[in-house]
Amino acid sequence: MSMNVAIDGPAGAGKSTIAKKVAKEMGFIYVDTGAMYRSLALYFIRQGIDKDDEKRISEAVKDCNVTIDYVNGEQQVILNGENVTGLIRTEEVGNMASASSAFKDVRTKLVSLQQDLAKSKDVIMDGRDIGTCVLPEAQVKVFLTASVDERASRRYKELVEKGEKPDLEKIKKDIEERDYRDSHRENSPLRQAEDAVLVDSSNMTIEEVVNAITKLCKDKM
């Protein structure tokens, strides 16, 4: 049986940074499920669809073919034959992804793709519903979180490093709104699985978090 590691948590908790490093350490494949929701969101934006228009979004999902590929160990998301990996990391796409991922048809499409990936391979998968819905049998489940202030300040620094001039208060407000939407939706809301280990990274270094999760994985092997 393949080894499955689920990492869930709110936006900006450092899931992808941590999961990538643990994957490297353990020789597992890293699957970023948020990137899949973002690629669909990009399609909806390009079609000019409103983020709350469930009917049009459900229709549009039928026109989307999402696959993932790996180049030098980095996940690439392919949307209808186009590699959209470099286009999905904007706040606009993130907000559309948060809104549209609440709809059943969007989730159904991506959850089955994610489950297929984990069936035959050792994976570490991050998202919001991995431990609760996508991989309920995962051998290791982690709920990775950090305070809103800490997550906003990390995001702020990231944007400054990219040469942008971000507004910290706006980032904080966006994170709070996203947390609320992700955890209050009807379909697969963000919540800690009963058997998940809670890791609050507010006062931990990246290395400390990676070591803690790697240890959980090794203990299960």
Between 127 and 145, name the residue whose CB sits nearer to ligand DC: 127
Supply the minimum distance, in Å, between the C-beta of residue 20 and ligand DC.
Answer: 13
CA pair distance 205, 203, nearest whole angstrom: 7
3-state secondary structure of 24: helix
Supply the minimum distance, in Å, between the C-beta of residue 134 and ligand DC.
Answer: 7
Between 28 and 37, name the residue whose CB sits nearer to ligand DC: 37
Supply the minimum distance, in Å, between the C-beta of residue 127 and ligand DC.
Answer: 2
Between 47 and 218, name the residue whose CB sits nearer to ligand DC: 47
CA pair distance 165, 186, nearest whole angstrom: 35
Supply the minimum distance, in Å, between the C-beta of residue 16 and ligand DC.
Answer: 7
Supply the minimum distance, in Å, between the C-beta of residue 7 and ligand DC.
Answer: 10
Between 206 and 218, name the residue whose CB sits nearer to ligand DC: 206
3-state secondary structure of 90: coil
Residues of this chain that bind ligand DC (CB under 6 A) = 11, 33-34, 37-38, 94, 97-98, 101, 127-130, 178, 182
Between 26 and 42, name the residue whose CB sits nearer to ligand DC: 42
In terms of DSSP H, where are the helices of the chain? 15-26, 33-46, 54-61, 91-100, 104-120, 148-161, 168-184, 206-219
- Burial class of residue 65 (count of CB atoms within 10 Å of its CB; 0-12, 13-18, 19+): exposed
Q: Tell me if 32 sits within 8 A of 16, measured CB to CB.
A: yes
